[in-house]
Amino acid sequence: MSILKSREAQLALAIAILTAGIALRFPAFVTPANLAGVFNDTSPLMILAIGQMIVILTKCIDLSVAANLALCGMVAALMNGAGVPLALIVPAVVALGAALGAVNGLLVWKVGIPSIVVTLGTMTIYRGTIFLMTAGKWVNAHQMTAEFKALPRASLLGLPVMSWVAIALILLFALVMTRTALGRAFFAVGGNPHAAVYTGIDVGRTQCAAFVLSGALAGLVGYLWVARYAVAYVDIAGGFELDVVAACVIGGISIAGGVGSVGGAVLGAIFLGVIKNALPVIGISPFWQMAISGIAILLAVAFNASQSRVKGRIILKPAEA
Amino acid sequence: MSAPATPPAATTASTTGRILPNRLQSPLARALRSWEALLLVVFVLVFAINSFASPYFLNAWNLSDATFNFTEKAMIAFAMAMLIIAGEIDLSVASIIALASTAMGLAMTAGAGVPVLVLVGLGTGLLCGVVNGVLVARMGLPSIVVTIGTMSLFRGISYIILGDQAFTGYPKGFGYFGQGYVWWVFSFELVLFAVLAVAFYLLLHKSTFGRAVYAIGNNATAAQFSGIRVARVRFLLFLLTGLMSGVAAVCLTSRLGSTRPSIATGMELEVVTMVVLGGISILGGSGTIPGVVLAALIMGLVTFGFGLLNVPGIVMSIFLGLLLISVIAVPRLLRRK
């Protein structure tokens, strides 16, 4: 029974019940092809949720991920338009994303500005930069090379490359978070910063590393996003940072830091992905999606709190008693 | 993390047998070195640059038009400032505007008159504040996550009701709140902004409630033990923020004359930017209302000045983002030396 107490198991169960409930009325939803489609559709959210989880673990928050994604996506599209080979574009946008993440990280680490203020600022700056680069023009499908658009959709062993990228990153980060010193440092910094200092961990540097990772993932997703939807403009993935934070909260990552797992973040993203993909199937207007994910966030945060609440001892008894 | 502790000047003074000063600096010197003084300098600079950059800037009616850039945001920013000083945050304010505006639209289609419309707007704002307040103050959930959730929920309800439709055709008298003028160039919104600024100044700086807000922001546990009802103060602050969002919803809906579910999208970030620019510490415990007023004026003038120079809105947002980071970074970097 103890396995049911883990957050990941409960969430997986909730997703299974949700999917089964939909399948009762709409069996087509649970065909392997459709489930693979849902997974592929949720891949960007999963990848970004992993990065956001690491940032939240260290008591920070990265609200600039969606803007970072959009900027890197646009740069990828422009590089493609300038004839740069794809083998160079992908590493370049990952590096650019990491650099934009490093800007956040350095402002948090070296200047000591709270992360919410930093990323609130860089969010508008990064998105504004896209406008400065393009004067608001779109890069459309016909302006992209076939090779550029094909990579995320290319099928490998029955799944698109984008899904494989997500799976590879999930496995990679699951290893990094549980089996490396850096991974443990993220938990230590968020769990107890003072204790982390005494064990020789540089709190600021670890936070900066989290932002760099989150930024690099955003850069990679930037390319995948633009190539998959075959369009790049200023407002792509607008407001997506909130979905990413929501996936983390639903996945049981504590906003106070130090608590969370890659599995939780991924399952949180899948939960939102299933809801988003199920709504049109069961005939509910997509306009319901926002309110439903809002309720999911509130339920998840209330659930998180009820599980982690430590019962205090009453040392002063009421006078009547 | 924290700066190395340096012995205060008073300690060295006492060892040499001199009288301990009550204040380490004269009040005037302190005022001159304050954040508000810096903002005032920035304000004067922006005003001067604008006057040189465009011949249309120094015109009473143009300046009056410019105030609409910030009045609605500033109304929310006053309440948000108190909330942030108390160590909480409300990211759902723009969504409250959307929901309150949608509720007003529903009331309008049901044939409500102007007074009822205003009451519906304010009431919806208050109700949203109650939801946030119960979740944060009563249930003890972290405000940043709760309000990200309600941000999605409140605007989500607007989308469910409106979809891709819009409410238009508000009654004629309703336009006064966003388009009317009290006297000469002074719009209703500008006068309301001034009245609210004074009211919030008195509430935060001259009342026990205001002192409680600072106490909670600096040390909630100590505040609890000194007899402040922390949960109740927090609850009231969320209520107040909801109510002010309702006020802003009335003004904005009246000014636009229509309601779409995407109304005021992203305004929460501008409000938080205004509050932080005004010198309110995002970590809670410090900041003043005059700072927020100056920040509102600066943001309004910058937006207006750029507008006169035909700078696109998104470029202004880059500037505001840079302003937000640099006004916080520069003093911190200077202090380090």
pLDDT, tens digit, for every residue of B249-292? 999 999 999 999 999 888 888 898 899 889 898 888 999 999 99
Most confident range, picked from A52-66, A142-156, A243-257: A52-66
Domain that holds residue B245: 36-49+56-336
Residue B98 main-chain phi, psi, to 5 deg: -60, -45
Quote the crossing angle between the two packed helices A65-81 and A86-106, to the nearest 10°. 150
Q: Which residues of A touch B155 (CB under 8 A)?
A: 290
**Of B110, B82, B79, B109, nearest in space to B244 by CA:** B79
Interface residue A16 vs chain B (CB under 8 A): no
Query: pLDDT tens digits, residue range B71-104?
Result: 999 999 999 999 999 999 999 999 999 999 999 9
Q: Is residue B17 part of a domain?
A: no
Does the pLDDT value for residue B24 go beyond 80? Answer: no
What lies within 8 Å, CB to CB, of B279 at 6+ separation is: B35, B36, B39, B286, B287, B288, B291, B292, B295
Amino acid, res. A50: I
For chain B, how many structural domains are there in total? 1
Q: Which residue in A has a C-alpha nearest to residue B314's C-alpha?
A: A128
Interface residue A118 vs chain B (CB under 8 A): yes
Q: Is residue B16 part of a domain?
A: no
A302:B139 CB<8 A: yes
d(CA A165, CA A156): 11
**pLDDT value, residue B32:** 67
SS3 A261: coil
SS3 content of chain A, % helix, strand, coil (to 5): 75, 0, 20
Query: pLDDT tens digits, residue range B180-226?
Result: 898 888 999 999 999 999 999 999 999 999 999 999 999 999 999 99
A255:B160 CB<8 A: no
**Of A287, A247, A194, A97, nearest in space to B161 by CA:** A287
**pLDDT value, residue A319:** 61
Interface residue A279 vs chain B (CB under 8 A): no
A127:B314 CB<8 A: yes
Residue with structure tokens 């966003």?
B178
**pLDDT value, residue A321:** 45
**pLDDT value, residue B52:** 86
Query: pLDDT tens digits, residue range A280-309?
Result: 888 888 888 889 888 988 988 888 887 766
pLDDT band at B123 (very low <50, low <70, confident <90, very high): very high
Could you tell me the pTM of the whole model?
Answer: 0.85
Does the pLDDT value for residue B11 go beyond 60? Answer: no
How many A/B residue pairs have CB atoms within 8 Å?
A: 136
**pLDDT value, residue B20:** 61
- DSSP code, position A159: E
Pick from A116, A193, A295: which is nearest to B282 by CB?
Answer: A116
Q: Is residue B21 part of a domain?
A: no
- Asked whether the beta carbons of B10 and B20 are under 8 A apart, the reply is yes
pLDDT band at B151 (very low <50, low <70, confident <90, very high): very high
A125:B153 CB<8 A: no
d(CA A298, CA B141): 9
**pLDDT value, residue B18:** 63
**pLDDT value, residue B14:** 43
d(CA A306, CA A299): 10
Interface residue B156 vs chain A (CB under 8 A): yes
Q: Kindly write down the DSSP assignment for every residue of A23-54, as one continuous string.
A: HHH-GGGGSHHHHHHHHHHHHHHHHHHHHHHH
Mean local confidence (pLDDT), B127-132: 97
A120:B156 CB<8 A: no
Q: Is residue B25 part of a domain?
A: no
A128:B156 CB<8 A: no
**Share of residues in chain A with pLDDT > 70 (%):** 94
Average pLDDT, chain B: 88
Q: Which residues of B touch A117 (CB under 8 A)?
A: 276, 282, 324-325, 328
Domains belonging to chain A, first-starting first, are 28-302 (1.10.3470)
Determine how β-strand B167-168 pairs with β-strand B258-259: antiparallel
A107:B329 CB<8 A: yes
**pLDDT value, residue B329:** 84
Tokens read off for B291: 């700072």
Q: Is residue B148 part of a domain?
A: yes
Interface residue B324 vs chain A (CB under 8 A): yes
Pick from B145, B282, B321: which is nearest to A114 by CB?
Answer: B282
Q: Which residues of B touch A301 (CB under 8 A)?
A: 141-142, 145-146, 149
Q: Is residue B169 part of a domain?
A: yes
Pick from A113, A127, A255: which is nearest to B329 by CB?
Answer: A113
Q: Is residue B24 part of a domain?
A: no
Interface residue B314 vs chain A (CB under 8 A): yes
**pLDDT value, residue B17:** 58
**pLDDT value, residue B3:** 46
Query: pLDDT tens digits, residue range A62-76?
Result: 999 999 999 999 999
Pick from A128, A255, A294: which is nearest to B144 by CB?
Answer: A255
Query: pLDDT tens digits, residue range A78-137?
Result: 999 999 999 999 999 999 999 999 999 999 999 988 898 899 889 989 999 999 999 889
Average pLDDT, chain A: 90
**pLDDT value, residue A2:** 59
Q: Which residues of A touch B333 (CB under 8 A)?
A: 111
Does the pLDDT value for residue B12 go beyond 90? Answer: no
Q: Is residue B190 part of a domain?
A: yes
Q: Residue A106: which H helix or E strand, with range?
A: helix A86-106
pLDDT band at A320 (very low <50, low <70, confident <90, very high): low
CATH number at residue B78: 1.10.3470
A301:B149 CB<8 A: yes
Query: pLDDT tens digits, residue range A153-191?
Result: 888 888 999 999 999 999 999 999 999 999 999 999 999
**pLDDT value, residue B2:** 45
A295:B272 CB<8 A: no
Three-class HEC string of chain B: CCCCCCCCHHHHHHHCCCCCCCCCCCHHHHHHCCHHHHHHHHHHHHHHHHHHHCCCCCCHHHHHHHHHHCHHHHHHHHHHHHHHHCCCCCCCHHHHHHHHHHHHHHHHHCCCCHHHHHHHHHHHHHHHHHHHHHHHHHCCCCHHHHHHHHHHHHHHHHHHHHCCCCEECCCHHHHHHHHCEEECCEEHHHHHHHHHHHHHHHHHHCCHHHHHHHHHHHCHHHHHHCCCCHHHHHHHHHHHHHHHHHHHHHHHHHHHCEECCCCCCCHHHHHHHHHHHCCCCCCCCCCCHHHHHHHHHHHHHHHHHHHHCCCCHHHHHHHHHHHHHHHHHHHHHHHHC
Interface residue B241 vs chain A (CB under 8 A): no
Does the pLDDT value for residue B21 go beyond 70? Answer: no
CB burial class (10 A; 0-12, 13-18, 19+) of residue B336?
Answer: exposed
